[in-house]
Amino acid sequence: MASESRLYTFSPETQDQLRKFRLGTSRAKDPQAVVYQIDKHTLEIAQADDTIYTDVQALGDQLPDHSPRFILLSYPLTLPSGRLSVPYVLLYYLPVTCNAEVRMLYAGAKELMRNTAEVGKVIEIAEAEDLETIEEKLGGAA
């Protein structure tokens, strides 16, 4: 982890946003997601926009077709036992159509993003349609 922590950076504002999102979504009643991207020139990982998505379908519509993204997702669900669970995960969106340079850029930052955001699990998705089955993937993990 030492090498990627020297290569990629998080601004203090981004670190604060990550912490507030993690703490603020732990008791959420609705799904909440925030999209992060890497600036190719500065290698800074930052929020792509100020939107907190509460609709997974709307999130899928906003994802680019040819560029990876990190998505922090807090998704409340009821387990088969009847207990409420709110998994906090990192969705690693890596479309098959993105170029190798960008693919390597995001691959190198994945573990740093995971550790900095303090997520419990990383789920890789290759297309926006994979979001439609996210509840199944989270239910199997819980």
Burial of 32 by CB count in 10 Å (0-12 exposed, 13-18 middle, 19+ buried)? buried
Q: What angle do CA 23, 24, 28 make, to 5 degrees?
A: 120
Instruction: Tell whether the model's pLDDT for residue 38 goes beyond 90.
Output: yes
Overall average pLDDT of the 1-10 stretch: 72
Q: Residue 140: pLDDT above 80?
A: no
Residues 6+ apart with CB under 8 A from 115: 1
What is the tens place of the pLDDT at every residue in 72-130? Answer: 999 998 888 888 888 999 999 999 999 999 999 999 999 999 999 999 899 999 999 99
- CB-CB contact of 90 with 114 (8 Å): yes
pLDDT in the model for residue 116: 94
Query: 141 pLDDT band (50/70/90 cuts)?
Result: very low
Beta carbons within 10 angstroms of residue 105's beta carbon: 18
Q: Which residues contact 141 (CB under 8 A, 6 or more apart)?
A: 87, 89, 121
pLDDT of 114: 95
Q: Are 71 and 90 in contact (CB under 8 A)?
A: yes
pLDDT of 142: 40
Q: In whole angstroms, give the CA distance from residue 44 to residue 26.
A: 26
